[in-house]
């Protein structure tokens, strides 16, 4: 089976898992439940649940306790997008070709839907406890899940990004840019992979190694975004190219130049894949998934 066919099969599995944990749209709170489901079912590659499940398999996991966490991860990721789209943040009317949640359901319900998804993510993750062979591992997984999505992870990166927009471009530093990328982008990839490793019973040393791999994947992913803004085409990206430069936004390409950015992207992605290949039980699909992600053209 080709990588593309295998990917489609695994995405379909992740999609079915996510749908199985979505709330039923009933009761006086029905509107927010509809808004939650509308947001989660708005498309996407389901990359974070895939990273989670494939890391879990790589370390020998074969139970069902991973599934509540897969759904919870997508709920957390989706809530961040719902809030990003709000008028107070990016004020976007469309995401993935559909009207954004706050446009369809109103700003107040958009805020509540994001809040509800974050809370429901933890309610869903907690369903792993009766499924887990070792409840201590489930507890460790929730701790990582919470930290990487919180003030020391994704939210921290979002705060720095929002404040950076108020900072004159000349004052943006490479250190600040990397902080934003590490926390806003890489943190949930780290979370997904670390949760998978922890639930499978990986050693502390291997979990730490997975965290470093997740960092490199996340930074390489974001560098590729910056590269595509310069080298991509309208047809490939589905959005105007060169928008960062037009908006006066400093990116990784600004600091390193196109050649330097491409070299760093290649180095980080190669190091991540080599590190994955060093584990006793290799997962070739996971390695190819990383390669396809960081070397994408759209």
Query: What pLDDT, on the 0 to 100 scale, is given for residue 296?
Result: 80
Average pLDDT value for residue range 161-169: 79
Query: What pLDDT, on the 0 to 100 scale, is given for residue 170?
Result: 58
Q: Residue 162 and residue 158: Cα distance in Å, rounded?
A: 6
Q: Residue 236 and residue 253: Cα distance in Å, rounded?
A: 19
DSSP H or E segment with residue 94 = strand 94-95
Strand partners, 98: 95
Strand partners, 99: 94
Q: Residue 281 and residue 23: Cα distance in Å, rounded?
A: 36
- Mean pLDDT, the chain, rounded, equals 92
Query: What pLDDT, on the 0 to 100 scale, is given for residue 241?
Result: 45
Q: pLDDT digit string (tens) for 198-208?
A: 999 999 999 99
Query: What pLDDT, on the 0 to 100 scale, is given for residue 229?
Result: 86
In 3-state terms, what secondary structure has residue 134? coil
pTM of the model as a whole = 0.93
Total domains, the chain: 1
Query: What pLDDT, on the 0 to 100 scale, is given for residue 298?
Result: 64
DSSP assignments along 275-290, one per residue: HHHTSSS--HHHHHHH
Q: pLDDT digit string (tens) for 219-251?
A: 999 999 899 988 854 444 444 444 455 455 789
Q: pLDDT digit string (tens) for 1-12?
A: 899 999 999 999
Q: Residue 170 and residue 172: Cα distance in Å, rounded?
A: 6
Instruction: Encode 112-129: b = buried (16+ Cβ within 10 Å), e = exposed.
Output: bbbebbbebbeebbebbe
Residues 6+ apart with CB under 8 A from 2: none
Enclosing domain of residue 229:
3-294
CATH of the domain at 148: 1.10.600.10
Average pLDDT value for residue range 69-83: 98
Least confident of 106-115, 127-136, 158-167, 234-243: 234-243
Query: What pLDDT, on the 0 to 100 scale, is given for residue 41?
Result: 95
């Amino acid at each position: 089976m080709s990588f593309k066919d295998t990917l489609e099969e695994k995405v379909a599995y992740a999609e079915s898992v996510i749908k199985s944990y979505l709330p039923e749209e009933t009761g006086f709170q029905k509107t927010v439940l509809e808004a939650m489901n509308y947001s989660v079912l708005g498309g996407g590659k389901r990359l974070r649940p895939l990273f989670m499940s494939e890391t879990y398999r790589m370390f020998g996991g074969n139970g069902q306790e991973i599934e509540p966490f897969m759904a919870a991860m997508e709920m957390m990721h989706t809530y961040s997008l719902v809030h990003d789209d709000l008028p107070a943040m990016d004020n976007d009317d469309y995401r993935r070709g559909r009207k954004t949640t706050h446009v369809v359901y109103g700003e107040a319900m958009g805020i509540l839907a994001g809040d509800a998804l974050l809370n429901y993510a933890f309610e869903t993750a907690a369903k792993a406890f009766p499924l887990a062979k070792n409840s201590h591992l489930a507890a460790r997984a929730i701790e990582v899940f919470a930290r990487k999505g919180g003030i020391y992870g994704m939210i921290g990166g979002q705060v720095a990004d929002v404040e950076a927009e108020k900072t004159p471009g000349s004052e943006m530093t490479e250190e600040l840019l990397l902080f934003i990328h590490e926390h806003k982008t890489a943190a949930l990839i780290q979370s997904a992979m670390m949760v998978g490793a922890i639930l499978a019973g990986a050693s502390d040393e291997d979990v730490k190694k997975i965290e470093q791999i997740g960092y490199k994947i996340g930074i390489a992913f974001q560098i590729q975004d910056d590269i595509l803004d310069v080298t991509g085409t309208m047809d490939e990206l589905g959005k105007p190219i060169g928008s960062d430069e037009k908006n006066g936004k400093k990116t990784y390409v600004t600091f390193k130049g196109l050649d330097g950015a491409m070299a760093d992207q290649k180095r980080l992605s190669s190091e991540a894949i080599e590190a994955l290949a060093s584990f006793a039980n290799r997962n070739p699909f996971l390695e190819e998934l990383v390669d396809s992600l960081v070397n994408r053209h759209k």
